[in-house]
Structure 1
Amino acid sequence: MTTPAEIADRRARVRQLAQGGASNRAIAAKLGVSKDTVARDLAHTPDPVAPPVVSQRERLAQRVAHAERAVRQASAAAGAVAYVRPAAVFTDDATAERWWRTLREAADQLGAAADAFAAHYPAATE
């Protein structure tokens, strides 16, 4: 079953490809879906003049997709910092202090996010 986040991501990709001039058939082949699915996804494209009408389910799907991307990006950023090991880089004191403050603030924010997640999903964090 396709999740709401996957649907939201696919619809965004369909819109992007359509705006680039790709045909429904080409979009369907590229994404591995039917032409009918592409047509339905394009029908959900908001009118640029009218305010978008977004269902509660679509808003939830968008939030899930945004959260998924944010968690992936945070994980990638943490991996990149661990890889370059800034503590082992020779730099001036002002830069070292700025890096330390930036890393400490990010760690505090991520720690608070992890604590809030554990409070909402205790079974997932045992």
Structure 2
Amino acid sequence: MTTPTAVAERRTRVRQLAQGGASSRQIAEQLGVSKDTVLRDLAKPEALAQTRTELRAQKLAQAEQAVSQACAAVQAVADARPAYQMTDDETARRWCGALRAAADALAAQADAFADYYPCATG
């Protein structure tokens, strides 16, 4: 199995050889890989250059933003105090159902921490 480091090094070498004017077939022969591998490595160099670490950092940033937005939304609901507003029964039922569904979804996410990060919940 090829390591991520070896793949990254090969992709860099493929791009260097291609920029030097070598054909896909020449690059494949020189590096001992298939022509399809060379073509795939050249297809989207910007996407291929993104490492697992970069992808993980991007996912973590998205999760951080989502948690922050959820907390802000909860605070906005608490500040609005919808349960204490005069409204019709249908609106009250809709708000209550929406809040319970959102609370259940958030509780499920919080419970997942107990499975993956026991120290975070204790």
Q: Do both proteins adopt the same fold according to a TM-score greater than 0.5, normalized to the shorter chain?
A: yes
Post-superposition CA distance 1:61-89 (Å, at most 9, x none): 01100010011011111111111110001
Deviation at 1:55, TM superposition (A): 1.2
Q: Name the SS for the 2:77 alignment partner.
A: helix
Deviation at 1:52, TM superposition (A): 2.2
TM-score of the pair, normalised by structure 2: 0.60
1:68 paired with 2:64, answer: yes
Selected match of 2:112 from 109, 116, 122: 116
TM-score of the pair, normalised by structure 1: 0.58
Fraction of identical pairs, as percent: 53
Selected match of 2:101 from 93, 102, 105: 105
Deviation at 1:94, TM superposition (A): 1.1
After superposition, residues 3-42 of structure 1 pair within 5 angstroms as none
Give me the whole-angstrom Cα distance separating, in 2, the residues matched to 1:62 and 1:118. 23
Q: Is the 8 A contact 2:113 2:120 kept in 1?
A: no
Selected match of 2:92 from 93, 96, 101: 96
Q: Where does the alignment leave 5 or more consecutive residues of structure 2 unmatched?
A: 1-42
Give me the whole-angstrom Cα distance separating, in 2, the residues matched to 1:106 and 1:79. 13
Runs of 4+ in 1 over 3 A off after TM superposition: none
Aligned to 1:52: 47
- How many residues were matched structurally? 78
Q: Name the SS for the 1:52 alignment partner.
A: helix
Which protein has greater RCO, CA pairs closer than 8 Å, 6+ apart?
A: 1
Aligned to 2:74: 78
Look at both structures and tell me which one has the larger radius of gyration over its CA atoms.
Answer: 2
Give me the whole-angstrom Cα distance separating, in 1, the residues matched to 2:93 and 2:47. 45
